[in-house]
Amino acid sequence: MARQIPHLPLVYSCSGCSSAAQLANTLAVRLDRDGEAQMSCIAGVGADLPNFVHQATSGRPILALDGCPLACVRGCLRRHDVEPDRYVQLQKHGVKKRYGQDAPEEDAERLYPWIVQLAREIRPDGERSQPAAKIGEAQ
């Protein structure tokens, strides 16, 4: 059974074979390890595994991170009529999709503070931040 940390939003990420997908996964893992969100398994949701579907449909706030326009995370959630509270498609924020190589560390460092802000905006425990500025805007 998936662990439950109800005072945190859920984060789902792409984890496909491209650099953009792996960056989405890296950002989600970092949110989880830093205590900003609870990462759950989008493959479990897509495979209709009851525990993962129950968690995704529980009403907890959700941050969804897709690497590219294929939007696999969004598609898995939509199969269960779930719309994320915040959604990020990394290619729209300057991330290149490459096969056989990792995303530049600079992309993770540039995006992570903004992703943290998005997670904090939807925290169910009331510890919300001010709305996050878009990448490139002054905060």
Question: Tens of pLDDT along 75-89?
Answer: 999 999 999 999 999
pLDDT digits (tens, 9 = 90+) for 14-68: 999 999 999 999 999 999 999 999 999 999 999 999 999 999 999 999 999 999 9
Contacts of 100 (CB under 8 A, 6+ apart): none
Parallel/antiparallel/unpaired status of strands 62-66 and 10-13:
parallel
